Structure formats: structure tokens, C-alpha cells
């Protein structure tokens, strides 16, 4: 199983970016998909997650970021609007999923990270 994240880049304050993360491989079922971020010199922290129709956000991104999911494509998106310099970080996607070889047992899988820089 692999998670491939994309969509990061350099954007000016107030701008927008859309991150994508696609899960591939022998996947039986995906429970939760989400995004975390790690700013320079800081620990990795929660950004947003989606489980079924339920979304959860960190307080720092509520009203600015929107998480969504394409179940047919095993892909999760993060639409980021009104970006601030403090949003600068490497963003990682995570999926809680079960593989075909081990149906019903769920583990965390992480993508490789995509870098977001908010600067003028």
C-alpha cells in the first residue's frame, strides 16, 4: 500500500492551494483519511480528517481549510484558502486502512509529505 501526496508549493499570504493524496495497492477498506503537518522545528500535528461523512478540523484551520474524499479513487483532498505564513509546513496524509491480505485489521499508513510555503 502506498499513499502519494501532491499539490504543495509556494503561495502568497491569502492565497489557496489544494492538496491531494491517493492511496493505492491491495486495499480492502479505508476507514479514516486525514492530513497532518510539521512546521520547521515543531512536532507533527493534526490538521483535518474525514471518516464517512464526518469531518474534523484543528482549530487553527477551521473556516479556511476543507477536507473531502473521493471514495471511488481512494483519494483525500485538502482545499486550503486564506493561507497564512504560519501554515508553512510539510503536509502529510494518513489513512487508516485494512489490506486485502488482512481484512478487518486496520493500520495507519502515511504518505511521503508535500511542502507548503506561504510567503510574500
Q: pLDDT by residue (tens digit) across 29-42?
A: 999 999 999 999 99
Per-residue confidence band for 100, with pLDDT thresholds at 50, 70 and 90? confident
pLDDT at 102 over 90: no
Mean pLDDT of all residues in 85-90: 98
Q: What pLDDT score was predicted for residue 114?
A: 97
Whether residue 93 has pLDDT greater than 90: yes
Measure Cα distances from 7 to 11, 13, 21, 66, 116 in Å.
11, 17, 9, 15, 8
Amino acid at each position: 500500500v502506498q499513499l502519494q501526496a501532491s499539490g504543495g508549493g509556494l503561495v502568497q499570504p491569502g492565497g489557496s492551494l489544494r492538496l491531494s493524496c491517493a492511496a493505492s495497492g491491495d486495499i480492502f477498506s479505508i476507514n479514516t483519511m486525514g492530513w497532518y503537518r510539521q512546521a520547521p522545528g515543531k512536532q507533527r500535528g493534526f490538521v483535518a480528517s474525514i471518516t464517512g461523512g464526518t469531518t474534523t478540523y484543528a482549530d487553527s484551520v477551521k473556516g479556511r481549510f476543507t477536507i473531502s474524499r473521493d471514495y471511488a479513487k481512494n483519494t483525500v483532498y485538502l482545499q486550503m484558502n486564506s493561507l497564512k505564513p504560519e501554515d508553512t509546513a510539510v503536509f502529510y496524509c494518513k489513512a487508516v486502512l485494512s489490506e486485502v491480505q488482512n481484512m478487518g485489521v486496520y493500520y495507519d499508513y502515511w504518505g511521503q509529505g508535500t511542502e507548503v510555503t506561504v510567503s510574500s
